[in-house]
Amino acid sequence: MYLIVDLGNTLAKFFLYNKDQCVLEQRVTIEKFDEMAESLTSSYQDIEGLIYSDVSDRAGHFFQKFSGQFPIIEVDHQMRLPFKNSYESPNSLGSDRIVLVTAACISYPNTNVLIIDLGSCITYDFLDADNIYHGGGISPGFDMRYNSLNHFTGNLPLLEAKKAENPTGRNTDQAIHSGIYFGILDEINGRIEYYDNKYDSLTVILTGGDANKLPKTLKNSIFAHSNFLAEGMFHLLKLNMGS
């Protein structure tokens, strides 16, 4: 058994692999990470290796106590990667982005791939057909935009994310929904158009918890399957365990 753990800004995701098959998947809020990690490591005594990606810097301390029982690997820029990393500051490249580029690398080999991850932030990562990672972009996600409009103004309300039906909002709530929804949609379409004009046969991968807020008709886009991230991490685990 192999345990794969992905800690984002709001969710902790656990995947248990038996050989090459994902046999268990659990998602909890980040506040319940310790409880779920304790439960899984106690329930499965045959864990042969563990890999974790952690943007919140809280998992390492918890997993230290298992260091004598099985290999524990943290995703970072120093590990063996299946792609060439040309990012100018590799030490600042987030583990979540490393994992997504790895997943794209193994799922779409010899392909120009733009990975768009919609979570707390929206990240853009580009991997070319020669297996070279070039970098990308980071911008605020849906909730961050709603929160900032409320926090940095005196009168705008805090709303929950909602799909806008019309770019022209006819009241304040509609205007906020419109500005955020179509702002993100236009941003994503603009980024896709940029890479599509520059590179042949571009494949766009949409992933992350907020990807379902987007229309299913974005140009050249593929909505990643639920285990896309886990498969990238499992590949890194095998690559760095030497198996």
The residue ranges of every structural domain in the chain are 2-74, 88-230
What average pLDDT score do residues 68-96 get? 91
Give bridge partners of residue 21 from the DSSP assignment.
18
What average pLDDT score do residues 171-199 get? 96
Q: Of residues 126 and 35, which shows the higher confidence score?
A: 126
- Looking at 96, 125, 128, 210, which residue is catalytic? 96
pLDDT of residue 128: 97
- Asked if the domains 2-74 and 88-230 are classified in one and the same CATH topology, the answer is yes
pLDDT of residue 242: 65
Q: pTM of the prediction?
A: 0.89
pLDDT 10s digits, 122-180 = 999 999 999 999 999 999 999 999 999 999 999 999 999 999 999 999 999 999 999 99
What average pLDDT score do residues 24-44 get? 88
209 to each of 96, 144, 186, how far by Cα in Å?
13, 14, 19
Q: Is 96 a catalytic residue?
A: yes
What average pLDDT score do residues 62-71 get? 80
Q: Of residues 188 and 34, which shows the higher confidence score?
A: 188
* Burial class of 8 by CB neighbour count within 10 A (0 to 12, 13 to 18, 19+): buried
pLDDT of residue 19: 86
Residue 193 CB partners (closer than 8 Å, separation 6+): 219
User: 88-230 maps to which CATH number?
Assistant: 3.30.420.40
Pick the CATH number of 2-74 from 1.10.357.10, 3.40.50.300, 3.30.310.80, 3.30.420.40: 3.30.420.40
**Where residue 220 falls among pLDDT bands split at 50, 70, 90?**
low
Q: Is the pLDDT of residue 113 over 80?
A: yes
Give bridge partners of residue 137 from the DSSP assignment.
124
Q: Is the pLDDT of residue 38 over 90?
A: no
